[in-house]
Structures are given as structure tokens and as C-alpha cells.
Structure 1
Amino acid sequence: MDDDVLSNDYYSRMLDAVKSAKFCNILTHFDYGVRRLNLSVNAFRLIAEPYLVNIFKNIIEKNIAFELNAKSFIKYGNKELYEYAIPLYISLGGKLFTLGSDAHVAEDYELGFKEMKNLLIKNGIFELAVYQKQQLIMVNI
């Protein structure tokens, strides 16, 4: 598939899912659909931003946290996409962040957490959203 077609398909589906979700705590894999594409941040922004603005507005309204995904951040080298998306989310009023290992093997557990925490701190975020029995708990980074 063409990068534009694939990206538009992925983000339109994500927007539909977020809008229709009756109950959800965390938006994960914000970049999964483009994870293996070779998109610059600017190309990503041009394709995804119209969708992301709507997606982020919806999750903010529903108090759904935004996940930083370690596999994407570290293993797929998409740190720059997070450096773009985090300030966008914050600019729309977003405050809830989580970290996800996406660990399919034990040695990947908490992979990149230090780097992701540092990026959040750089953006003025000092707490993470943690859910226990579906209840939001804010913890210091």
C-alpha cells in the first residue's frame, strides 16, 4: 500500500475506534500503522496531524491516557514521532501519559523507560497515569 493510503486508513480507523469506545483507559500504538514506514516527521505530520488532533481531543475528553510505546520508541526508532506527538497532545490539553513495554520477551520489560520518562520531563510532565482495577492513580515519574 501507498504510505498515504495506509496512514489514512489506519488513522481513520483509530479515530472511529476512539469515538465509539464506551470504556477505555489508554490509547496505545498511536504510530503502529506507520511503524515500519520510512516517514520523516514532517511527512508524518502532514498525513497524520488532522487525525491526531481529533483523536487526541476525543481521548482528552474521555480521560484516556496516551501511551508511549517502548517497542516503537526504541526498537523501531520512532522517538522523533513521539517528540512531535507529545507537545501536540499537551497543546490540546492532554495530561495523562503511560509507558508501555510492549515486551514480547522478558529482556524487553521496561526497555527505554528512562528515555521516555526523560522526554516527558522535558515536556513538563512529571506524573504517569497508572490504572489499578480500572481506577486512575497518578504517580511521580
Structure 2
Amino acid sequence: MKRNYWMIGLGMGWTIIFAGMSFYWAMGGLIGARSLGGAIYEMAINPSHSFIVILWLTGVIKLLGFLLLSLLLIQWKKPILNQLLFYVVKCVGVLLFLYGFLNFITITLSQFHILDFDLEPYAVWWRLSFWEPFWMIGGVFYFFSVKR
């Protein structure tokens, strides 16, 4: 397994930013919350205790991606560990990319009135220009951090 240290570094940075957003919102920050739109924005304005707990847990789960990428920096002597890391990182990359891509498609379809979403134009603009591409870029970083 070959490692692309640039992609690993970019992926780690992306993951820290990604987790940091959840921690910021869990602490009551609202910058960027409106850009998510819909029910998430409504919950962010008047958060319940369970919503805050979910935000903290989400941030911690996101940090597991940092741990995953940092495991790539170790030269493992057992080939099975290298294979496992290779496939897990590739799968995570594909899933991150697909999540952003499919959200991008469904939000775009809602703009053509094919699907019905409860998103205001402000949130639609941010989701299509930032959030969904952000997910896809993270997927690219993960996916290309390793190769055969």
C-alpha cells in the first residue's frame, strides 16, 4: 500500500474542521447554522439537551476519521493491517463522496420541483455551493490518501 501524504494531511485538516463545526455548534455557536436550513436550523436556534448531546457525539465520531487517517502514518508490519486500512479508508472516502453527491442531486431536483424539501433559498445556495461539495472533497481526500 502506498500512502499519499498530501492527501492524508489534507484529509486530517478537513476532518478537524468538520469535527470543529459540530463542537462549535454544540457549544451554542450559530455561525453557519442557518446555511443548513430546515429542521436542523430550527433545532439550532432553540436546542434541546438531546440535540446538544447529538452534536457532541457527532463531533467525536467525526474525529474517528482523524484517527483512521493517522493510522496510515504507521508502517505496519502485518500485511492484513495494511489491507484492512486500505479498504476501510477507500470505503469511507466513497461513502463521504456519495453522501455529498446524492444530497447535491436531491437538493438540485428539489429546485426543479421534482422533489419537495423544506429548504429556504439561502440554505439551498449554501448546501449546493459549500456543504455538499465539502462532503465530496473530504471523500476525495480520504479515497486518494492510499493506493496500491
Q: TM-score, normalised by structure 2?
A: 0.27
| Largest Rg, 1 or 2 | 2
Q: TM-score, normalised by structure 1?
A: 0.28
Q: Which has the higher contact order (CA 8 A, sep 6+)?
A: 2
Comparing both structures, which one devotes a greater share of its residues to helix? 2
